[in-house]
Structure 1
Amino acid sequence: MKTNAQGLVLIKQFEGLRLTAYQDVVGVWTIGYGHTGTDVRAGLTITNDQAEQLLRQDLARFESGIGRLVAVPLNGNQFSALVSFSYNLGLANLQGSTLLRKLNAGDYAGAAGQFPRWNRAGGQMLPGLTRRRLAEQSLFQSKEDA
């Protein structure tokens, strides 16, 4: 599966676009639409096109990861909400989560209820993360457009 338009809008909205590398709230060097990695360092600048390319590469990795971790059927909105969640928190956090355990047990409502619990960074509750988790939860719970 691929991230749908609603999921892409959500990711771009919450990640924002920064063409110069910066350290996020927990000190990780970041650029573009939330891209991190060994290629990101102080002083790095990129173009809009490069930011889009990094986003596509990152999305492919997270889409593949969701495909490996989730053992139950998902609609496009559920899949895209999980991609956004993992894009922000990492696949390892999803892999060890109660959210994934409930989802793979077929408890979609229970899984949806777990999104708001993931609103902390560096041990602090962040309003931006609360808003993102609620947006992901809403997308996860919404019916997919035909």
Structure 2
Amino acid sequence: MKLDENGYKLITSFEGLELEPYLCSANVPTIGYGNTFYPNGKKVTLKDKPITKAYAIEIFRFVADLFAKDVTSLIKSKVTQNQFNSLVSFAYNVGTDIDVDDIPEGLGDSTLLKLVNKNPNDNAIAIEFLKWNKAKGKVVNGLTKRRIKESQNYFTP
């Protein structure tokens, strides 16, 4: 599947736009709409020059589409466009966790994904979204709001 315009808007509504490099809450150099690398693979550094809004959108769409591709490979059940958009938004924020271990470091090893793949309409999925609202072990209000919105969007027909 691919993100649609509503999916792109969902993600950017949470990320905000910064045209100069900054350190995100995880202490990672970031630019644009929460991007930590450029389309050429180069990581963002705090010494990078500011970018234009047009380039920020280009970077964002490139990176978001990579996440969409990863999420597509992880989903084993039929999901709606809104469900897909919400899962990509989630992965864009926490990572896809495509690796060989069973440690839930992102969508790939999460109970959320297991429930989606078993039954994408399971109401317990809403609870699983909400479990991912912490940074460094502490509840973050902004993440709680994001997870609620992603969950609401997920269950919107």
Specify if TM > 0.5. Answer: yes
* Match of residue 117, structure 2, among 104, 129, 138: 104
Instruction: Give the gaps of 5 or more residues in structure 1.
Output: none
Q: TM-score, normalised by structure 1?
A: 0.93
CA RMSD of aligned residues (A): 1.2
The separation in 2 between residues aligned to 1:70 and 1:107, in whole angstroms, is 10
- Give the structure 2 partner of residue 39 of structure 1: 43
Deviation, 1:50, is: 1.0
Whether contact under 8 Å (1:79, 1:140) holds in the other structure is: yes
Deviation, 1:13, is: 1.2
What does residue range 1-146 of structure 1 map to in structure 2 within 5 Å?
Answer: 1-37=1-37, 38-44=42-48, 45-92=50-97, 93-108=106-121, 109-143=123-157
Deviation, 1:107, is: 5.0
**Structure having greater relative contact order (Cα 8 Å, sep ≥ 6):** 1
Q: What is the DSSP-based 3-state SS (H/G/I as helix, E as strand, rest coil) of the residue aligned with 1:21?
A: strand
Task: Give the 4+ runs in structure 1 shifted more than 6 A.
Answer: none
Q: TM-score, normalised by structure 2?
A: 0.87
Q: Aligned residue pairs: how many? A: 143
Percent of residue pairs bearing the same amino acid type: 37
Amino acid at match of 2:3: T
Whether contact under 8 Å (1:21, 1:40) holds in the other structure is: yes
